[in-house]
Amino acid sequence: MDNLNPFVPSGSPGSPPPNHENSLTRALLWVLRTVPAAEAAFLDLVRESQAKSGASNQIPSSSALPSPGEFRYQVGRIGAVAKELVSVLLADGQVGGQSPCAGHRVVRSNRQAVYDGVIIYEPDLIIIIEAKLDSNGFSCTQLDPGTDLDPQVSVNPVPVILQWKDIFERLISLITRRQVVCCAEKRILDDFLAYVDQYFPHLGPYANFSLCGGNEYRLLKRCRKILANVGQQMNLQLGSQTDPPFLDLSSLRVGAIATRAYLGPEFGQGRWVSVKLSLYAGDTVTQAKEFYNSVSKSKVQLFRNGSWETKPNLHFGYIRRHLVWSSAQIQWDDYYDYWYRANQNGRIRQYRQPEFTGLFDQLLCDKQITNHDRAQLDQAFVNTNRDHVNVCPGMAFVYTWDAADASHLDNQGSFESDVRHKLDSAMRNLP
């Protein structure tokens, strides 16, 4: 995990380990204090919980509070006066079909309290927070304020019970909705959720596909985590923060043909339908030559026998950019035969500007590109100052799990090993 992630404790003497509930609480408070949209989302959750429980008084929204919140962590005294105190429990799941302490009434107590968190909005509101990851040794009386509370403060008797998963869901929504958080705030939220996933996998927020709830952000994070684990097993590096995530294959023998293995979700009609593992062989001129030199048609057939989809991936590039992809509908075996012969004849190469028209006319005549593709090629090359075009007749190898199968395997803890198995088989069929 990124050692610059501010939510991972540095290991200083006396600090709790990163997987301790106190560390999680401290991290959440830091997020709420630092990201105003997260603070507002947390207050919205408190209000929604109060509305569901029938509380007569509900806290105001963040915009209606008179001052920014003051956040405190692990304190024995509140040290502030406000009109009302609300007690919040951050819990993991439900007990007996209902939230823990749902029937408890918050009252002043004679105990010497230590509050996991305190948020103060003087002179209107004080929120005390009790965070628990399990119920062992926990009493609902821990929601009650202690003797330190000023007698002028009115105690709301209805406790607010929030589930950790609901908090994560709301934070993820801030990331996925446009123009809600800025780049720096998004990085903070990303780091916090990555920290949760690393040290509290049972809480989510993307511990398996089922918990992702069809959310694209979560599904991509889950795929990234799976590839990171597979890469560690295979001594491969996870690619940079791009979507979909990929493993770098360049250190392997197969890297001469395909340098990346991608894993990502696919969507149809607005819903998640599958997960795809994809390798793109022959993505450059050099790789394409090596592909047709070393991968026989029978080896490509082995992929198809193993339920892989093989698809033509003819594209045209300039320097390191791919600019135009062929949309021609060609059977994989006819495509392979055409470009196998083209490679033997030295036609997989870089073409100079005077050759553009003849090249594109020939490919159109041979049905390797469409009229629409030809128009795009004219726009990208013929009608520009670009002096060359790289012809890259690659082939895509794609293995697909439908959403239900991927979720089932992941719930059983076997999806990761299945990805590893599929990658191993691909390595055997590609030299």
d(CA 171, CA 127): 19
**Which residues of the chain carry a pLDDT beneath 70?**
1-5, 8-14, 93-99, 135-137
Domain coordinates in residue numbering, the chain: 21-167, 221-429
Instruction: State the DSSP code for 178.
Output: T
pLDDT one-digit tens code per residue, 292-339: 999 999 999 999 988 999 999 999 999 989 999 999 999 999 999 999
pLDDT (0 to 100) of residue 1: 44
pLDDT one-digit tens code per residue, 62-94: 888 877 789 999 999 998 899 999 999 998 865
pLDDT (0 to 100) of residue 297: 95
Instruction: State the DSSP code for 1.
Output: -
pLDDT (0 to 100) of residue 10: 57
pLDDT (0 to 100) of residue 190: 87
Which residues have a Cβ under 8 Å from the Cβ of 86 and sit 6 or more positions away?
46, 50, 59, 125, 126, 127, 128, 156, 160
φ, ψ of residue 10 to 5 degrees: the values are: -75, -5
Q: Residue 265's beta-bridge partner residues?
A: 275
pLDDT (0 to 100) of residue 5: 60
- Dihedral sign, Cα of residue 419, residue 421, residue 425, residue 431: positive
Please report, as a single letter, which amino acid is at residue 163. Q
Instruction: Match 């927070």 to its residue by tokens.
Output: 129
d(CA 357, CA 389): 11
pLDDT (0 to 100) of residue 94: 52
How does 381-416 read in b/e, with b if 16+ C-beta sit within 10 Å?
A: beeeeeeebbbbbbbbbbbbbebeebbebbeeeebb
pLDDT (0 to 100) of residue 9: 64
Contact 21, 133 (CB under 8 A): yes
